[in-house]
Amino acid sequence: MHVLIIGAAGMVGRKLIGRLVEAGQIDGREVTALTLADVVAPERPAGFGGKVETLTVDLSAPATAETLIAGRPDLIFHLAAIVSGEAEADFDKGYRINLDGTRQLFDAIRLAGLASPYRPRVVFTSSIAVFGAPFPEKIGDEFFQTPLTSYGTQKAICELLLADYSRRGFFDGIGIRLPTICIRPGRPNKAASGFFSNILREPLNGEEAVLPVSPDVRHWFASPRAAVGFLMHAATLDLGRVGPRRSLNMPGLSTTVGEEIAALGRVAGERAVKLIRREPDETIIRIVDGWAQDFDPARAIALGFTADKSFDDIIRVHIEDELGGRIAA
Amino acid sequence: MHVLIIGAAGMVGRKLIGRLVEAGQIDGREVTALTLADVVAPERPAGFGGKVETLTVDLSAPATAETLIAGRPDLIFHLAAIVSGEAEADFDKGYRINLDGTRQLFDAIRLAGLASPYRPRVVFTSSIAVFGAPFPEKIGDEFFQTPLTSYGTQKAICELLLADYSRRGFFDGIGIRLPTICIRPGRPNKAASGFFSNILREPLNGEEAVLPVSPDVRHWFASPRAAVGFLMHAATLDLGRVGPRRSLNMPGLSTTVGEEIAALGRVAGERAVKLIRREPDETIIRIVDGWAQDFDPARAIALGFTADKSFDDIIRVHIEDELGGRIAA
């Protein structure tokens, strides 16, 4: 089985590659070749015996899509995107990469299939940013898409294309709407959502972290490990069971910042909690106020997608996967 | 006020032009110029004292969008589309006209506004084809978009673009999802929905008509006059009241074929009803089975959109507007 990963250098991409290499197979079919593409050079995975091709490409450039699928991969993970803040700041770039780049990929697959039979599985990472406030208490599987960012608009459009191209038989597509990933590894960044991870990751490293919102703020989370699990499950799921409604809200945990902090205290002790400094930021408070708080992802659960069981688990996953099992605090 | 109508040669476009010429103003502002565009040559309206420009153009051709808005119209009605059947039969053409053509129009407005301030009102006709079965008993304002045709996909994508471009301040957009227009004037055509009009229009002309489905089939209707009323209301509505969710289900009448026929009997007598011949068509039965039957268009009603009061009225509108008040039957 030949697997193409677009967005292979990103956090989720790298973890997915690790999982694929470790498993060596998907649904009993050996992974024999990996094509890894990103706008920055993807690393070659250690310990993989199959063929690896790495491509450093701009997804929206002419002929990139054709190059990506030239080897007719059986399974395509499309994880690449200009993130929310940048897509909002740079209108043209966001539409060019997130919409045109994705459409060019979908069309390259369609046209390849017109030349000779080709119908890969396409797993597309969408986002809960396809929804816009005001929300019901829990967002159900049939709630409408009214994004309030250009990023969310681009994701919602690609979901529609994914469904239509799948319905037409050009590929077997599935879209998964990821919760906010927590704990995001790496250094603190300026993303408005960064603090949800910062207030846990930094204290686990013995460092201070800033909390810019009230502990009452509620949001929707999954661990990086759960996100990779969603992708792996989406790669093999019987799409006959999914039907024409191809994009799904993934399961997750609806948790307040206060509950995050309580979990940190349980797992890492009060010393860790004391490293969180409250420093309200009106801009972040206003942005986060428009975000989804809770979901009822009944379809995804019925289809076998599983998320973290508790926020304590989310913290433990981070300690195991990122810290080698040890806490600094 | 300068008004641009794209799709000016179509049935709704021609009726809208008639209404604009008759009114001579919109919301108290005199209509001084009309730009009328379509892929077939639009007629010049009789009795209009202002400036008229007619353009025969392919919306998706390079620079068409720029040409259309060169005169910086204050109000743009975008009614043009490849219809459902053709967009399904010709994948490339449907996406080229319905998606790319619309996006090029939106981008031309955006880029014109970057050069010097320009923010027209854009009224976009969408469709209930943005929804796909299975449906709730009544489709509410927050039901999700899962189209089952390429046409519906293209309309849903354009709705998303309309909302994002409006949110960004590039124009003031509003999308209106028209019910099936009934009674559609003209000759019977092969559209799967044609019979809903044929079984009324043909008997009113003293001609036979074929009914391919059961009298129990329920669907969602508005008269051509109501459709023009929606467009006129959308042209002047305070969009501050609409907010970021820019596409609205229009009001209509949920009616069974049996109720249509009963109304025909009341308005035109049993002689007209006897001209309907039952001839089941499995293909049409299957297509129509996937269509929306009823809506709860609470938002549009609260915003002042009004539809026909009864199916008897829909028939009377046709007799007044198309038959000079006389019934042949």
Residue A59's pLDDT band, with cuts at 50, 70 and 90, is: very high
Which of A146, A150, A156 shows the shortest C-beta gap to B245?
A146
Rg (CA), chain A: 20
What percent of chain A stands above pLDDT 90? 93
Q: Where are the beta strands (DSSP E) in chain A?
A: 2-6, 25-26, 29-30, 33-38, 51-56, 75-78, 121-127, 172-178, 180-181, 209-211, 218-222, 247-249, 253-256, 276-278
Q: What is the pLDDT of residue B115?
A: 94
A245, B11, B295 from B253: Cα distances, Å = 27, 20, 9
Region class of A306: left (phi > 0), else alpha (psi between -120 and 50), else beta: beta
Confidence check: pLDDT of B16 > 70: yes
- Identity of the residue in B150, B164, B244 whose CB atom sits nearest the CB atom of A150: B164
pLDDT at A72: 98
User: Is the Cβ–Cβ distance between B48 and B1 less than 8 Å?
Assistant: no
C-alpha of B235 from chain center? 14
Q: Are B145 and A143 in contact (CB under 8 A)?
A: no
Q: Is the CB of B163 inside 8 Å of chain A's CB atoms? A: yes
List the single residue in B147, B161, B167 with the smallest CB-CB distance to A148: B167
Provide the token pair at A31: 């992974």
CA distance B28 to B314: 29
Q: What is the pLDDT of residue A87?
A: 94
For the residues A9-26, what does the mean pLDDT come to? Answer: 96
Nearest CA in chain B to A131: B144
pLDDT digits (tens, 9 = 90+) for B82-133: 988 899 999 999 999 999 999 999 999 999 999 999 999 999 999 999 999 9
Domains and CATH numbers, chain B: 2-179+224-249 (3.40.50.720)
A93: Cβ contacts below 8 Å, ≥ 6 apart: A82, A86, A87
With cut-offs at 50, 70 and 90, classify the pLDDT of residue A192: confident
> Are the beta carbons of A163 and B153 separated by less than 8 Å?
yes
- Whether the pLDDT of residue B328 is over 90: the answer is no
Sign (positive/negative) of CA torsion B159, B165, B169, B171?
negative
The stretch B276-282 carries a mean pLDDT of 96
pLDDT single digits (tens) B23-38: 999 999 999 999 999 9
Integer Cα distance of A24 and A117 in angstroms: 26
Condensed to tens digits (0 to 9), the pLDDT of residues A216-233 reads 999 999 999 999 999 999
Please, which pLDDT band fits residue A187 given cuts at 50, 70 and 90? Answer: confident
Does the beta carbon of B134 lie under 8 angstroms from any beta carbon of chain A? no
Question: What would the mean pLDDT of A191-199 be, rounded to a whole number?
Answer: 92
User: Would you state the pLDDT for residue B150?
Assistant: 96
Question: Residue B88 is inside which H or E element, if any?
Answer: helix B84-89
Q: What average pLDDT does the segment B288-316 reach?
A: 96
Q: Average of pLDDT values for A69-87?
A: 95
Average pLDDT over residues A197-213: 96
* Chain A residues in contact with B150 (beta carbon < 8 A): 164, 168
pLDDT, tens digit (0-9, with 9 covering 90-100), for B222-261: 999 999 999 999 999 999 999 999 999 999 999 999 999 9
DSSP B279-324: ---HHHHHHHHTS---B--HHHHHTT----S-HHHHHHHHHHHHST
Q: Is the pLDDT of residue B218 over 60?
A: yes
Mean pLDDT across chain A: 96
On whether the CB atoms of residues B34 and B76 are closer than 8 A, the answer is: no
Verify whether the Cβ–Cβ distance B160 to A143 is below 8 Å. Answer: no
Q: Which helix (H) or strand (E) holds B198?
A: helix B194-204
Percent of chain B with pLDDT over 90: 93
Residue B156 at interface with chain A, using a CB cutoff of 8 Å: yes
3-state secondary structure of B160: helix
Inter-chain residue contact B164 with A145, CB threshold 8 Å? no
Query: CA B79, CA B202: separation in Å to the nearest integer?
Result: 26
- The CA radius of gyration of chain B, in Å to the nearest whole number, is 20
pLDDT of residue B329: 53
What does the alpha-carbon distance between residue A187 and residue A198 come to, in Å, rounded to a whole number? 8
A83 φψ region: left (φ > 0), alpha (ψ -120 to 50), beta (else): beta
Q: Is A169 on the interface with B (CB under 8 A)?
A: no
Distance CA B126, CA B158 (A): 8
φ and ψ at residue A128, rounded to 5 degrees: -70, -5
Residue at token pair 């009060």: A270
Residues of chain A neighbouring B153 (CB-CB closer than 8 A): 160-161, 163-164
Tell which B residues from 232 to 271 touch A, by Cβ distance under 8 Å: 244-245
Give chain A positions within 8 Å (CB) of B161. 153, 157
Residue of A91, A132, A145 with shortest CB distance to B144: A145
CB contact under 8 Å between A163 and B147, yes or no, is yes
Could you tell me the pLDDT band of residue A17, with boundaries at 50, 70 and 90?
very high
Partner residue facing B244 (CB), from A132, A156, A168: A132
Q: Starting at the edge strand that comes first in sequence, how are the strands of the sheet with A253-256 ordered?
A: A180-181, A218-222, A253-256
What are the residue ranges of helices labelled H in A24-116? 64-68, 84-89, 91-94, 102-115
| pLDDT for the residue numbered B287 | 86
Q: How far apart are CA A219 and CA A222, in angstroms?
A: 10
- Smallest Cα–Cα separation from A160: which of B129, B86, B166, B297? B129
According to the model, what pLDDT value does residue B192 have? 83
Of A96, A107, A28, A16, the C-alpha closest to A69 is A107
Question: Does A95 participate in catalysis according to the annotation?
Answer: no
Residue of A nearest to B100 (CA): A100
- The amino acid at B208: E
Could you tell me which residue, B294 or B190, shows the higher pLDDT?
Answer: B294
Query: Sorting pLDDT into bands at 50, 70 and 90, what band is A96?
Result: very high
Distance in angstroms (rounded) separating the CA atoms of residues A91 and A88: 6
Q: How confident is the model at residue B48 (pLDDT cuts 50, 70, 90)?
A: very high
C-alpha–C-alpha distance, residues B196 and B249, integer Å = 20
Give the ipTM of the model, two decimals please: 0.96
Residue pair A294/A219 in contact by the 8 Å Cβ criterion: no
The angle formed by the CA atoms of residues B147, B101 and B172, to the nearest 5 degrees, is 85
pLDDT at residue A50 tops 80: yes
Q: Please tell me what DSSP assigns to residue A100.
A: I
Query: Could you tell me if B146 lies within 8 Å of chain A, comparing CB atoms?
Result: yes
Query: Distance between CA A237 and CA A302 in Å, rounded?
Result: 12
Q: What is the pLDDT of residue A329?
A: 53
The tens digit of pLDDT for each residue in A254-313 reads 999 999 999 999 999 999 999 999 999 998 998 898 899 999 999 999 999 999 999 999
Contact flag B145-A145 (C-beta cutoff 8 Å):
yes
